[in-house]
Structure 1
């Protein structure tokens, strides 16, 4: 499948670039900024995008990509910090400027494939503290703002572009069209990324695994879709277990059980462990301690179930693409946001391999798959709820009256 690779230099919008590109059916993948040129070449991208980031290119410790990337005969687009990287690399000058944050009027100076059909001017979203003072030889200015004379530049010899603004955010008018121009008209990437295609490919891959699969289902959309995808592939070799910890919303436990039993032929088990959880939480007031206890008890219940109903070879999780990046798999400057693991601390003797069918997807893509698989609309609109449930919503000790 043809793809666009986004190098992550630490922007809060890096994932958004990928999401925007996927919205027009082209696969986009976020990788660490320091990925080797050799590794990137193996991925065979149709084009490369440098994300924004909080650094300054002239600082000694500024994140820089593998120099060899610039020798690739591939379209390249730099956004914000990525724009400054391109200016700096090709011989221009970047200087500290007055910080600019917010909407600016971008006026077009010359025709270009990147800004084709965008119009004479648009409102563009700025978020930067540096700017291009001098653009490199063989580059030309294709757009400017009042405070940035080189807000958009293009190389006249190669398909290399730099833009100081953020086309991926909704505050930039026609921003998605600018990304579309780059991906479809410059990179000429094929629109092959669809959720129907993903379901077909994933089901085929999972159908080839051997052994039984255990999947913890919470009633949330991620674990539900993961379970249904796996079930579509291997049928009753999948066992879904829902642990009722007594800390759910009113009637939620029954609603989850009814949803699975009335809508799907999944091998579904509800394990009522509410007394076990509530007895361990008795007298506990600190929310972090509550969270820890809930996690420990969940592991214990899950382990007992696996021992009783096993053997299982696989443990399925509803891990999403941002979860993997946030856990530090991406080594970009803003990568480690929080530790993400849907099920942690299971004993080694269970010897379970991890199966994560949704790990390439964003939340909105999971919702699309849920609709394809026939998940009730009510679940799709359910408000998210924390794993530890009411234990962290209740102030002080948990009592029956508070529940």
Structure 2
């Protein structure tokens, strides 16, 4: 019985109600003065409150599916070495490798380094920056991770692929470092020859907090999509030795960040070639955190619905990797539906864990093979279509199995 099963929820609610009922009965029976009866009444009240809090916690966890098993809570549910990527091999569309170059403006202000500068050649460097958008007029914090190879003479005159990484909502860019450990995961995959170096641009897709824009150019509001898809990549490419948009840029995120990654890749295939969604969804959410995103504009609403785009428009030439687990019952059906709708020239792969919830523990287990997958795709594009796993074996085979899967188009409704 999983932590998000209806049986477990019913059992917890029933147990909680019994405890509260017994507490009310016990309070009517406890009488007298002095420390003994006082402590007894206090204990009964605490037991009733704990029972009520437990019911609320189980109900909230059941709704959001943060933890689906005890091992999920303890962090032992996932092992990155056992994660299997199912789908197509890394064969992104061939591009001319030139991409589009933004204006040479200095819109990145570097505040400080997170890691000591002396460790740059061995562990890389993390820079705390503010990116100012020339087209959107927005500004946002971004942590830029430069891998050790960035400082190596071998790469002194070579640009690297760039990867925009986004968290869920509500969250902050710092969680990508402190909770998800993206820089250290990237460093580890490079050291074990499972991935080639990439520059990580870790930023919050919530560019106008606390409002959740769903990475949208909001009608009569902030142009979050323009900032994330155009301003951010243009600014980083102009400041650092990173490929120009269209010549080796990808996206990755969890939950809302995963939705944004897939949506932006589909809307901007001339700028992004690959995207990874960790437990993402495939329709823009509208609630009290977002407000009115579309202002009655049906076209804008459709462009924020990847499933609608696959159903009604030609598929874009991008590659996506989507992940979830068999116990994440709210995300799993939508993920399978999305995969069934993918058609050429779009390509899709998937990671479906046996168990795991909507939390950092599950995503951290999926992150290493996802970075390997992205590295293979982005370096293929950066090398003008040459496979990343060439005869020179510049990228060792990651500890996952890849196999081809036939993806069927979903019939029109």
Q: Please, what TM-score do these two structures have when normalized by structure 1? A: 0.27
Q: Whose RCO is larger (CA < 8 A, sep 6+)?
A: 2
